[in-house]
Amino acid sequence: MKLCAFIRPASLSAAHENLRELGREGMILAGGTALHFMQDHTPVTAVDIMSLGLSFIREEGDYYNIGATTSLADIQRYRAPRWAMHEICRRISTHQIRNISTIGGNICRVFPWADLPVILLAMDARMVIYTGSDEEEFPADEYFKEQPAKRFLDGNILTSVKIPQLKAHHGFGSIKVVRAEAAFAQVTIAALLELDGSTIKTARVAAGGAIPFPRRLPSVEAALGGQQANEETFKEAAAQADADVTWRGREGMTPEYSRHLAEVTIYDALERAAAFARGRNE
């Protein structure tokens, strides 16, 4: 994208109106760290929403509500019970980028290597979108069903992301495999397990990096439900991922190596999630 002008609206409704009037010649700006990945030279006007009060982290009922322009560095620094997002954000890019990059900017246009869509799919997060007259919530499964950028072509604006609080006996584990510090992910896996004693009651597992677009792994989840949370179960479940996705080669990796790397990473993420769940009694 070639930025030819900037607008700084005074309100959310004004920003929505600006974007509607500009159409495809307008673009929301909320951090701007992904601009250099947009290779075309179409001239656009940036609508800067960074001053509209969308930078916050609040406990609301059973959720942590994170404002769309909250930086990844602020999420990394935040601490609270039943919260795991700081560990995920710590592994995204460099500290300099995390100071600028926002959670909304990270998920409004999804690139294959993106980390947060994988995490939000596993966590069963909800995205809140301002439509000009109201706000609508979309579960992660629906929001990431296709490229989210399509949802914002008519001026709609992502305002926050709602992360469920981790309850008793719930454990979260995520693994990001990179070739070098701050590099793009070769494979990202995230898993959320609910244990009943040593039995897996529910499971959500998502993958990204070595596939064109992040997605859930329903065959892996099905292989986990009702089974014992142990090494054998995790290995058998990880081997089911091929039924859900076609692994691709990238950064010198063959598709077969990507498949093997993903299988090992799924196992590691499940082990981490189970260990987390065993230590959570409240």
Domain ranges of the chain: 2-48, 57-164, 170-278
pLDDT at 19: 94
pLDDT at 38: 67
Domain 57-164 is in which class? alpha beta
Residue 91 · residue 115 · CB < 8 Å: yes
pLDDT at 39: 67
Residue-by-residue pLDDT tens, the chain, 282 positions:
678 888 999 999 999 999 999 998 888 888 876 666 666 777 889 999 999 999 999 999 999 999 999 999 999 999 998 999 988 888 887 778 888 889 998 999 888 888 999 999 999 999 999 999 899 999 999 999 999 999 998 899 999 999 999 999 999 999 998 877 667 788 999 999 999 999 999 999 999 999 999 999 999 999 999 999 999 999 999 999 999 999 998 777 899 999 999 999 999 999 999 999 998 766
pLDDT at 47: 93
pLDDT at 88: 85
pLDDT at 182: 67
pLDDT in tens, 97-120: 888 889 998 999 888 888 999 999
The one-letter code for the residue type at 230 is: N
Domain 170-278 fold: Enolase-like; domain 1 (3.30.390)
The one-letter code for the residue type at 201 is: K
Cα 212 to Cα 10, 40, 113, 267, distances in angstroms: 37, 20, 9, 21
User: Where do runs of H (alpha helix) occur along 11-168?
Assistant: 12-22, 72-77, 85-90, 95-100, 103-108, 116-123, 140-143
Query: In 3-state terms, what secondary structure has residue 249?
Result: coil
pLDDT at 184: 76
CB atoms within 10 A of CB 111: 14
Q: What is the DSSP letter of 93?
A: S
pLDDT at 1: 66
Domain 2-48 fold: 3.30.43
pLDDT at 36: 63
d(CA 19, CA 9): 10
pLDDT at 57: 97
Q: For the chain, what's the residue count?
A: 282
pLDDT at 71: 94
Closest CA to 13 of 126, 104, 134, 136: 134
Positive/negative CA dihedral, 252, 215, 116, 264: negative
Q: Please enumerate, as own/partner, the contacts of 140-146 that have beta carbons within 8 Å and a separation of 24 or more.
A: 141/216, 144/110, 144/117, 144/120, 144/213, 144/214, 144/215
pLDDT at 33: 67
pLDDT at 267: 98
